[in-house]
Amino acid sequence: QVTLRESGPALVKPTQTLTLTCTFSGFSLTTSGMCVSWIRQPPGKALEWLARIDWDDDEYYSTSLKTRLTISKDTSKNQVVLTMTNMDPVDTATYYCARTTTVTNGFDIWGQGTMVTVSS
């Protein structure tokens, strides 16, 4: 059974750096075709794709947020980490991690999400 779970702070101050961890099970990021993305959703608004890391270490970033994002993986811990710098209240959202495989090329399994509020 494939599962993903997001963890990180519920509250961050403006200008701080957010670090989120996605811990997954049921698959390995060393297996060809496996990928993990981060996606966020502000309250009452649309989903927004942020970043993706692949089994072969390729990284992809949202064009508009590229300068603020870093994605990395620790295959020994089955974790993917997203850092976002210079947080602003508009970054308040539920942050999801989701698996993609090159079989479906869709986000086929999602974590339950973690709500992050940016406020002083």
Partner 1 sequence: QSALTQPASVSGSPGQSITISCTGTSSDVGGYKYVSWYQQHPGKAPKLMIYEVSNRPSGVSNRFSGSKSGNTASLTISGLQAEDEADYSCSSYTSSSTWVFGGGTKVTV
- Minimum Å gap between C-beta 52 and partner 1 is 7
- Minimum Å gap between C-beta 14 and partner 1 is 25
| SS3 label, residue 81 | strand
23 contacts partner 1 (rule: CB under 8 A): no
Interface of this chain with partner 1, residues 47 to 106, rule: CB under 8 A: 47-49, 52, 60-64, 96, 98, 104-106
**What is the end-to-end Cα distance of the chain in Å, rounded?**
40
113 contacts partner 1 (rule: CB under 8 A): yes
Phi/psi-derived region of residue 14, left when phi > 0, alpha when psi is between -120 and 50, beta in every other case: beta
